[in-house]
Amino acid sequence: GESVGLHLPTLSVQEGDNSIINCAYSNSASDYFIWYKQESGKGPQFIIDIRSNMDKRQGQRVTVLLNKTVKHLSLQIAATQPGDSAVYFCAESDSWGKLQFGAGTQVVVTP
Amino acid sequence: DVKVTQSSRYLVKRTGEKVFLECVQDMDHENMFWYRQDPGLGLRLIYFSYDVKMKEKGDIPEGYSVSREKKERFSLILESASTNQTSMYLCASSRERGAGETQYFGPGTRLLVL
């Protein structure tokens, strides 16, 4: 079946550096791709999304890149801060709005 | 801000018990969802509802049922809890159908079935 997967389960990054979290997807019919952040003890929180007809979208300190040729999605976090330590999930949405989540990447920010 | 609340943060139940997990959203959202979250598996959709008294099966509905009698409330029911239902349960809501509609999550209920 179709699936969303992540390349790395854990990412360790030094404070101030840029982080890149990668995600592979297999359903070329997905309309939207979304990144969620889940801090310890909390539910996932929406970060940013990108429509399937776009290649790049920027938010505050975050950028999402979509490469439809190789079915790859990435989240870039600029100047990573301790508060960015969390699990990050990519998800793909069908036209209805149902989400299919990846396994998640744990980001650990070191001083 | 959208607020999604779940009735319990932690729950311990015994095998065979009937378990109710409650979720309430305060933004008049049409859609509500129940997921379970397990390490290495991400979030998996159990059931969702797009209107009062309407429900649809997600990817892993076996062993679960749901109820949506009021728009703001969506309940997940484990008819006879089993140890393999030990997990984190997350509720979410979204405004309406559509690919661009953000899902807002509650804090989760961590359920332990002994």
Mean pLDDT of A43-57: 96
CB contact A105 to B (< 8 Å) = no
More confident residue, A31 or A46: A46
Contact by Cβ (8 Å): B82, B19: no
Q: How confident is the model at residue A40 (pLDDT cuts 50, 70, 90)?
A: very high
What per-residue confidence (pLDDT) applies to A60?
A: 93
Residue type, B29: H
Backbone phi, then psi, for A83, in 5-degree steps? -70, -10
- Which residue is listed with tokens 């159908």? B97
- Assess contact for B2 and B27: CB atoms under 8 A: yes
CA-wise closest residue to A59 among A81, A71, A75: A75
| Residues of chain B contacting A, Cβ within 8 Å | 4, 31, 35, 40-45, 48, 58, 90, 92, 94, 96-108
Q: What is the pLDDT of residues B32-74, one digit of tens each?
A: 999 999 988 889 999 999 999 999 999 999 999 999 999 999 9
Residues 47-66 of chain A with CB under 8 A from chain B are: 49, 51
